[in-house]
Amino acid sequence: MRAVILTAGEGTRMRPLTLTRPKTMLPVGGKPLLEYTVEALKEAGIKNITMIVGYQKEAVKDYFKDGTSLGVNIDYVIQEERLGTAHAIGQIYGTLKEDDDAVIVTNGDIILGHRLIESLMTKFYESQAQSILVLTQVDDPSSFGVVELEGDHIKDIVEKPSLEDAPSNLINAGIYLFDRNIFKAIEKTEKSERGEYEITDSLKIQINKGKKVLGLVSQDKWIDVGRPWEFLELNEHFLELSESKIEGEIEEGATIHGPIILKKDSIIRSGTYIMGPVYIGENCDIGPNTFLRKHTSIGNNVNVGNAVEIKNSIIMDGTNVNHLSYVGDSIIGADCNIAAGTNIANLRFDDEGVKVTVKGKRIDSGRRKMGVIFADGVKTGINSSFNPGVTIGLNSSIGSGAIIYRDIPDNKIVIHHQTQEMMDKK
């Protein structure tokens, strides 16, 4: 059996974080989201993996290479035009080997556990189904593909119905198992109203022809990882599963509560107080007198200075968080410089949910506490302040003492602290 991971998309709802990498390569719990899927497949005994890549494909290929370092065999198929899930899956037909009697297909941006994969394979071989779709229950199915079940047979799939018209609260979880018949259905699949070839339409073709298309209801945690705050939730999830592993140095006088992962050539200096679970990558310098709170994930080559507090945040590779700064409930990109005294607010005065811009619209994150999203290469001036939910674009710089209350586009310099006046970077 072969596994296929769909990781060709742009992840536009995650911009500006995805301007320099695919969404599936964003780090959670110390490694790219995509790596968790590869590990789960390996644990389930599947070592032959095809990745469907497209947008920023080199970031994926340079990291995973042929899979040897993870104990699997990885090859790549390039989806030049991203025309939907059925189109992506159809790309692999010519690459299948004789012994690839079936394929497990999963979106690269979801949580996938090895026990679920094992259950899926068992059901497939015992039932001799043509296709199996993993389902999960949600409170509001109106934003998803909703499934109508009769026993474990799928009778229909309805895309994004109103809450009143939804046939159930079971939705497509983005994990499938197909035999080779799926490629015949894909050939007959027409473009949807969105202008894409949808795999759910291919499944409907099988259902209408009386093929055995089954649903497997998963009880595992499922997160629709599409927007920045959902990556914080995912980071929390993976860190809660972590166990302590100390490869670096902890100076005398540092206090550690709860599990931490400290990678090689990193140091935690005296006076630092850590409440785990916390992840700290390679070649990091933390402290002295720094406070790292639960669910903080720090990448490689990161410096966190004296008297800094970081809470429930993702700090990516090569970033400096300098002394006397506060970072709460935020995602900070790679190669940023957070100047001394930078303060990031993560709570509205009225205690309402923090709004964040997604594809040009302000969306309520549903989180009472949410800080900022910084793209790669952001620089802040000393004593700058940021209101909750603000997004700062790629390589932009914020002047000293500035109070930022709205989003800043890419490649801008904020030069006036009262009017938030901007100019283009030269």
Instruction: Report residue 402 as tokens.
Output: 């500035």
Q: Is 153 a catalytic residue?
A: no
DSSP β-ladder status, 170-179 and 131-137? antiparallel
The values of phi and psi at residue 249, to 5°, are -110, 135
Asked whether the beta carbons of 414 and 392 are under 8 A apart, the reply is no
- CA dist 145 and 131 (Å) reads 16
Residue type present at position 38: V
Active-site position among 114, 153, 237, 323: 323
Q: What is the maximal distance between C-alpha atoms in the chain?
A: 69
Q: Are 338 and 325 a contacting pair, CB within 8 Å? A: yes
Burial of 99 (0-12, 13-18, 19+ CB in 10 A): exposed
Give the closest residue to 173 by CA, choosing from 107, 122, 226, 121: 107
Task: Give the strand pairing for 422-424 and 412-414.
Answer: antiparallel
Cβ-based neighbour number of residue 91 at 10 Å: 19
- The answer to whether 324 and 287 are in contact (CB under 8 A) is no
Query: CA-CA distance, 34 to 8, in Å (whole number)?
Result: 12
Burial label, 372 (beta-carbon count in 10 A; 0-12, 13-18, 19+): buried
| Residue from 177, 70, 192 nearest 124 by CA | 177
Distances (CA, A) of 51 to 10, 55, 341: 15, 12, 43
40: its two tokens: 């789960």
Helix (H, G, I), strand (E, B) or coil at 229: helix
CB 205 within 8 A of CB 189: yes
H or E stretch at 245: strand 245-246
DSSP code per residue over 38-71: HHHHHHTT--EEEEEEBTBHHHHHHHHTTSGGGT
**H-assigned helices in 152-227:** 182-187, 199-208
Give the active site residues. 323
